[in-house]
Amino acid sequence: MTSKDFDLVVIGGGPSGYAAAFAAVAADLTVALIERDRIGGTCLHRGCIPAKELLETAAVRRTVAQAGEFGINTQEPVIDFSVAQERKRAVVERLFAGITHLVGSKDITVLEGTGRLAGDHAVEISLNDKSRQVVTGESIVIAAGSMPRTLPGFEVDGHTVLTSEELLELDSLPASVAIIGGGAIGCEFASMLSDLGTQVTLVETTETLAPGTDADIAKSLQRSFKKRGIDVVTGASANSHNPHQDGTVVQLNNGTELDVEKVVVCVGRRPFTDHLGISDTSIEVDEDGFVVVDEFCRTNLQHIYAIGDVIRTPQLAHVGFAEAMLIVREMLGQNPRPINYSRVPWAIYCHPEIAYAGLTEQQAMDLGYDVDTTPHRLGGNARALIHNTTEGIVKLVAQRRPDGKAGQLLGVHLIGPHATEQLSQGYLAVNWEIDVDEIAEFVQPHPTLSELFGEAALELAGRTLHGLSLIHI
């Protein structure tokens, strides 16, 4: 064994890990980055990017299928899924080449192997070439990522029972699937597979899809899915399944049986800390295996940080980026402001898309706010009509002032076409803590989908322009 000293040792080369390495080396710190597979992590190779690529394929098919409504006559679109998969792989490889080049262009020591904590400041690496190395760091960052959770009774075999990772690698489309879990991942896959011609049943244990979203948004999504022919079963869980020659029969706890070709388990992700040797340290973990950290992502060992999917914060790549920059600034003594996780942006890329930032109406009320809201629908929006997609809502949640008028904007919630690309001004408004009256002064470009945000603000301010009622006048 050999040893080498660094200012920072990062375990994991996913978004949070490589971002920490980039931020540290930009601050002239010496950095070692340990990655056992490929730089980019789950997001690039087995999650966000390949999923969104296939969702785009689904969107193209949906557009072609609707072309006749625009006066363009086409035949029924036929999918060559092998071509779609090849395009997906090409996009991933191009991005992988880009991030690999970035890492290589910086003064970062990349160690290919599996890192394990081996003392207060030491990490032992089982290198991919079967050798071992010990490195030490003034600070250590745990950024090992996550892996899909599974369900008892649903052993993942990659053929009949899949997780998101196996689904993204299918070489052909199944005729029917049961998706267990109606969170963001489950909703995205349900939408994608339905648009590609698969019969989908989506099962969620809570009473609404997309738990965590505003109630009006969740209801709108559920209506849209049912209208598209997606079978939605809420308030139910999957108990077991009985495989047969052509698939399997899934038993739900409400007595329902689903005879499907494949089952996709989408019940969240767990921290991938199995190999880290945390149990041999005094680092605290919670009952689900997440590393416990303070507001600056420090563990109870102050020189060891944990970021990304291994801690109980939103499992989003952009949150991992933010945590990476936070910890480096904290290491440098720059007194950074902790991340306000209640205000980070969320994006779900199903059809219709969902995007939000800030408090839901219920969360705001639970915190004691007197709340004023307006759900502004897309039905009268010119750009939505042009897109041929008028289902959707722009909902603003504001604090009601003592004079009865809407004050500070607390949350922005969108569902509809290109919602994920429309969130930015709402996200900024929430985080700048500005009042609805101030937002109402914004001049919105016309015709755009984003002008619905301005319309909703005008309505809350009692100055609606195109709304059906002047509810505050």
Assigned domain for 346 exists: no
Same domain, 194 and 330: no
Check: CB of residue 14 under 8 Å from CB of residue 36: no
What is the enclosing helix (H) or strand (E) of 248? strand 247-252
Residue finishing a domain among 247, 267, 287: 267
Same domain, 230 and 258: yes
Nearest to 136 by CA among 43, 325, 1: 1
Catalytic residue list: 446
Check: CB of residue 128 under 8 Å from CB of residue 80: no
Please tell me the predicted confidence (pLDDT) of residue 20.
98
131 phi/psi in degrees, rounded to 5: -85, 175
Assigned domain for 156 exists: no
Assigned domain for 125 exists: yes
pTM of the model: 0.94
Please tell me the predicted confidence (pLDDT) of residue 380.
85
Please tell me the predicted confidence (pLDDT) of residue 231.
98
- CATH classification at residue 411: 3.30.390.30
Same domain, 248 and 283: no
188 phi/psi in degrees, rounded to 5: -65, -45
Same domain, 373 and 360: yes
CA 261 vs CA 162, 196, 211, 245: distances in Å: 11, 15, 27, 9
3-class secondary structure, 139: strand
What is the enclosing helix (H) or strand (E) of 293? none
Assigned domain for 213 exists: yes
Range of 204's domain?
Answer: 161-267
CA 214 vs CA 148, 211, 296, 469: distances in Å: 25, 8, 28, 23
Nearest to 50 by CA among 91, 18, 10, 11: 91
Helical packing angle, 451-460 and 419-431, nearest 10°: 40
Same domain, 168 and 45: no
- CA dist., res. 455 & res. 452, Å (int): 5
Same domain, 68 and 172: no
Strands (E) in 277-405, as ranges, are 304-306, 346-348, 353-358, 371-377, 393-400
**Own/partner pairs for 57-61, CB < 8 Å, 24+ apart?**
57/84, 57/87, 57/88, 57/192, 57/196, 58/191, 58/192, 58/193, 58/195, 58/196, 58/351, 59/195, 59/351, 61/195, 61/196, 61/197
- CATH classification at residue 314: 3.50.50.60
Q: How many CB atoms lie within 10 A of CB 397?
A: 28
- CA dist., res. 381 & res. 466, Å (int): 9
Same domain, 400 and 418: yes
CA contacts within 13 A on the Cβ side of 380:
9
Structural domain count of the chain: 3
Please tell me the predicted confidence (pLDDT) of residue 120.
84
Please tell me the predicted confidence (pLDDT) of residue 463.
83
Residue finishing a domain among 220, 237, 267: 267
Please tell me the predicted confidence (pLDDT) of residue 473.
28
Assigned domain for 281 exists: yes
Assigned domain for 347 exists: no
For the chain, 473 residues long, give each residue's pLDDT as a single digit of tens.
Answer: 445 699 999 999 999 999 999 999 999 999 999 999 999 999 999 999 999 999 999 999 999 999 999 999 988 899 999 999 999 999 999 999 999 999 999 999 999 999 999 988 999 999 999 999 999 999 999 999 999 999 999 999 999 999 999 999 999 999 999 999 999 999 999 999 999 999 999 999 999 999 999 999 999 999 999 999 999 999 999 999 999 999 999 999 999 999 999 999 999 999 999 889 998 899 999 999 999 999 999 999 999 999 999 999 999 999 999 999 999 999 999 999 999 999 999 999 999 999 999 999 999 999 999 999 998 888 889 999 998 988 899 999 999 999 999 999 999 999 999 999 999 999 999 999 999 999 999 999 999 999 999 999 999 998 877 654 333 32
210: which residues sit within 8 A by CB, 6+ positions away? 182, 183, 184, 187, 217, 218, 221, 348, 354
DSSP string covering 176-238, please? EEEEE--SHHHHHHHHHHHHTT-EEEEEESSSSSSTTS-HHHHHHHHHHHHHTT-EEEES--E
Same domain, 171 and 55: no
Please tell me the predicted confidence (pLDDT) of residue 38.
96
